[in-house]
Amino acid sequence: MDSLPSNQAVKRMIDQLVKRLEEANYAYHVLDQPILLDYEYDQLFHELKALEINNPELIASNSPTQRVGAKPLSTFQTMPHEMQMLSLDNAFTLQDILAFDRRIKSRLMHAKFTYICEPKLDGVAVNLLYESGQLIQGLTRGDGYYGESVTDNIRTIASIPLRLRGSDWPERLEVRGEIYIPKEKFKVMNADFVLVGKKPFANPRNAAAGSLRQLDSRITAERSLQMCCYSVGMMTGDPLKTQEQMLEKLNEWGFRVNPLIKTVKTIEACEVYYDAILERREALPYEIDGVVLKVNEFIHQKTLGVLVRAPRWAIARKFPAQEATTCLKVVEFQVGRTGTITPVGRITPISLGGVMISNVNLHNMQEIQRLGLCINDTVIVRRAGDVIPQIVGIASNSESTNRLPILMPIHCPSCQQKLIKTPGLVAIKCLAGLNCLAQKREAIKHFVSRKAMNIKGLGEQLIQKLLDQQLIQSAADLYLLTVDDWMKCDRMATRSIDNILKSLALSKQTTWKQFIYALGIHEVGESTAQILAHHFLNLNQLMVASQTELQQLPSIGETMADNISTFFKDPNNQAMIISLQNSGVTWPTNEIKMQHNAVLSGQNWVLTGKLSQMTQEQASDYLIALGAHVNPVISKKTNRLLIGDHPGSKLQKAKKLEIDIWSEVQFIELLKQYELL
C-alpha cells in the first residue's frame, strides 16, 4: 500500500497549487490573457480545497480558497490611512485646463516635464496596505484621513493580489485605486435584483459602493467587483521617479492598471487624449466620468505640492454629465404598434452629455410605482449611449409640495377604446388594432423602417399627415399616392416629392424576409421572419400554413403560430397583400431552403469575429436553415460559438462557460455535408 505523503510533501503540493492558481488569476483578472481554461482552474481549485480540508493547519492566508468571504461583521472599524488620501480638483472646459497648465509652468519655472493621462474611473476609492508582501488591510477613502476597514470584502476581489508578485516590492506599501463594477455585470445584477423584488441600484458606482460596504463579505464575493490601481500612498524603500514607472511596478506586483494610460509632452496632447477617450466612453466596459491629468515626475509633484485636499500637480478633466436632476412636469401615454400603452415623462428640458433632453421613457405603470414617482417631483435623469433617457430615481432633495399622483389611463388616448390589463402581465393594451389611429400610424412606421421595406424620407410627421387627411388607410396605399396627393398632403417641393416617389419605387424590390417582417405580424421580429422565409418557399404557402405546421418550426410557439395564421385570415390583411403585389412589390425566390431534417435543431449559436468566406449574416442564414437559433450574446444556454478573425471577448466568455468553439473551416465542412455549399 502507498504510504500517505508526509506533511512536508503536502505543504509543497499546496504551495505549488496556490502558486499556479495565483498565476492563472493574475493572467485572467489583471492581464486579460487567460492561461487556463475554466474547468482546468476549477479542477486545480478543488484539488487544493481537498488538500486543505484534510490539512487545515496548512491553509495559507493568500490561498485562493480564502477569497469566498468571511463571517459577517456587526460594524466596520474606522482606521487611519498611513498617508492622507487626496482628492482632485475638477476642470470642465478647455480654459480650465489651459489655466492649470499655466499655473504648473509658472510654478516649475518652465522646467521640462511630462503629463500622464489616465481614464477617471467612476467607482469607489480604496487604500490597500501590504506588509512583507501580504495584504493586511483594505480601507475606504472616508474623509481622506480615516476610512472604514472593508478588508474581508477586499479579499474577495479577484483582481486584488492577496500577496504581491515578484520580489522587489517594498516592505510596507499602500496601494490606491478604484473599485468598480463592469457595466455588463451591473446590468445582470440589477436584473437579478428586480427578479427577486429588490430595489436595483441607480448606477454602477452606487452598486460598487453598496457591494463594498456589505457587512457580510460572502455577498460581496458574488458581486463581480474589480479594482484598477492609480497610485501609492506610503511606501518604504527606494523611491520611484515617475507616475509611469510606479504604474509599471504596480502592474508587476500583481495589480490591474488601466492599459489606456498615456504619457504626453504637452497640454494640447492631453486635450487630444481627452477627446479620444470621450469618443470611446460608451464602448468601454466600465463607467468613466472624465480623464485625470497628472504631472508625471515625482520631483516636480513635490515642488508643486498640495493645496488643502487636492494636489496642485493633478486635475480631473470631467466629461459632460450623463446624469442630472430636473422636474417631471407631465406624464403622457403613447400607443405602440401592438397597442401597448407606454408612459412618457415630459421634463423641464436639461442638457445631458451635450444633448437637450425633454422626454424620458417611463416603461410601464409598475416602473412608476417602483420609483414612487409623482408629477412635480425632482427626478434624476440619466442618459447612456443611444439608450432613451431614463428616470433612475427621485432626487434626495426633492421637496415638491404639489405632488400629483400618476394615474393609469382607462381609455386609449388615441381611439378612446377601454384599455385592458391582462392579469399577470405588466402591460396595459388597447385592443382596437388597426381601428386605432395611433396603432395604424405605428404599423406604417414599422412598414417603412430600414429593416422592413426601407422607404427613405417618410418620417412620422408625414405619415401622420397622410392619415389625418385620409390619403392612406394602410401601408399598401403608400404605393398608390400620386404627385397631386403628395402636394395636397404637405405642400412639398417637387424635388422632395420626387425623392419620396423614387424611394417608394426602389423599395418595391425587397427580400422575402423583409417583406414578411414589414407586414408587422404581432411578435414576428426579424429572426422569426427569417425562419418563416427559409421554411416557406412563397407567399401562398405561408398564407395557408396551418398552426401545426407553423409550430413545428424553431422558436415558434402556440401564440406566435396563432398570431401568424390569424393575420393571414383577416380579409383586410389579405387585401393589403394583394394591393402590395399589384403595386409591384417583389422579391427574389427563396435562396436557402430550410432543411427539413434540421440537424442543428434546438441548438443556440453565437457568431463572433470576421469570417473570410461569408458575412455573419449569411452564416446566420445557413445556421437558421439548419434549425439553429442565432443569438447576439453568449449565455449559459449557448451551445456553440462560431469564430472568425479577432473574436474578442466573446471567445473568452465562451471558454469560461466551456462552450463548444467552431472555426469557419469546420462550419464550411458542415455546410458542404448538408449540401448548402
Residues that bind ligand IVH (CB under 6 A): 86-88, 118, 120-121, 125, 141, 178, 230-231, 292, 311, 314, 316
Residue 513 buriedness (CB in 10 A; 0-12 / 13-18 / 19+): buried
Nearer to ligand IVH, 322 or 638 (CB): 322
Listed residue (276, 286, 268, 377) closest to 329, CA to CA: 377
CB of 325 to ligand IVH, least distance (A): 20
In the complex, the smallest distance separating the C-beta of residue 238 from ligand IVH, rounded to whole angstroms, is 21
Residue placing its CB nearer to ligand IVH in the complex, 22 or 323 = 323
Q: Which residue is nearest to ligand IVH (CB)?
A: 125
Q: Which of 523, 547, 530 is nearest to 590 (CA)?
A: 530
Cβ(119)–Cβ(261) below 8 Å: yes
Give least dist CB 87 to ligand IVH, A. 5
Q: State which residue, 285 or 648, has the beta carbon closest to ligand IVH.
A: 285
Q: Which residue has the cell 484621513?
A: 145
What minimum distance in Å lies between the beta carbon of 294 and ligand IVH?
A: 7
For the CB of residue 282, give the shortest distance to ligand IVH in the complex, in Å. 18
C-beta of 280 vs 421, nearer to ligand IVH? 280
The count of C-alpha atoms lying within 13 angstroms of the C-alpha of 22, restricted to the half-sphere facing its C-beta, is 21
Task: Name the nearest CA neighbour of 387 among 203, 227, 175.
Answer: 203
**Min separation Cβ 517 and ligand IVH, Å:** 45
Distance CA 152, CA 150 (A): 6
- Using DSSP's 3-state secondary structure scheme, residue 23 falls into helix
Under a CB-based contact definition with an 8 Å cutoff, are residues 453 and 506 in contact?
no
* Shortest CB 141 distance to ligand IVH, Å: 6
Handedness of CA 449, 454, 457, 462 (dihedral sign): negative
β 604-608/629-631 pair status:
parallel
User: Quick check: is 672 catalytic?
Assistant: no
Q: Based on CB atoms, which residue is closest to ligand IVH, 28 or 230?
A: 230
Q: How many CB atoms lie within 10 A of CB 330?
A: 12
Residue 166 Cβ vs ligand IVH, minimum distance, rounded to whole Å? 23
Determine which helix (DSSP H) or strand (DSSP E) holds 15, and give its type and residue range: helix 7-29
**3-class secondary-structure state, position 492:** coil
Beta carbon nearer to ligand IVH, 277 or 292: 292
Report, in Å, the least distance between residue 103 CB and ligand IVH: 16
Q: Are 309 and 86 in contact (CB under 8 A)?
A: yes
How far apart are alpha carbons 475 and 438 in whole angstroms?
14
3-state helix/strand/coil string of 137-165: EEEECCCCCEEEECHHHHCCCCCCCCECC
Burial level of 491, CB count in 10 A (0-12/13-18/19+)? exposed
Task: Name the DSSP class of 341.
Answer: E
Give CB contacts under 8 A, 24+ apart, made by 586-591: 586/508, 586/509, 586/510, 587/509, 587/510, 587/511, 587/512, 587/514, 587/515, 588/511, 588/512, 589/512, 589/537, 589/538, 590/512, 590/533, 590/534, 590/536, 590/537, 590/538, 591/621
Q: Out of 11, 49, 105, 120, which one is annotated catalytic? A: 120
Which of residues 317 and 363 has its CB atom nearest to ligand IVH in the complex?
Answer: 317
Q: Which is nearer to ligand IVH, 113 or 567 (CB)?
A: 113
**Under 8 Å between Cβ of 161 and 253:** yes
Q: How far is the CB of 120 from ligand IVH (least distance, A)?
A: 4
Sign of CA dihedral 180, 181, 183, 189: negative
Is the Cβ of residue 306 or residue 493 nearer to ligand IVH in the bound state? 306
Q: Which is nearer to ligand IVH, 87 or 340 (CB)?
A: 87
Distance between CA atoms of residues 437 and 443, nearest Å: 10
Nearer to ligand IVH, 312 or 655 (CB): 312
Closer residue to ligand IVH in complex, CB, 157/292: 292
How near is the Cβ of 178 to ligand IVH at its closest, in Å? 5
Rounded Cα gap, residues 628 and 239, in angstroms = 60
Half-sphere exposure for 223 (CA within 13 Å, toward CB): 32
Q: What angle do CA 469, 473, 479 make, to 5 degrees?
A: 95
Q: CB 273 → ligand IVH: shortest distance, Å?
A: 13
Three-class DSSP category at 646:
coil
Do 176 and 230 touch, CB atoms closer than 8 A?
A: yes
Contact status, residue 559 vs residue 599, Cβ threshold 8 Å:
no
Amino acid at 158: A
Q: Which residues are catalytic?
A: 120
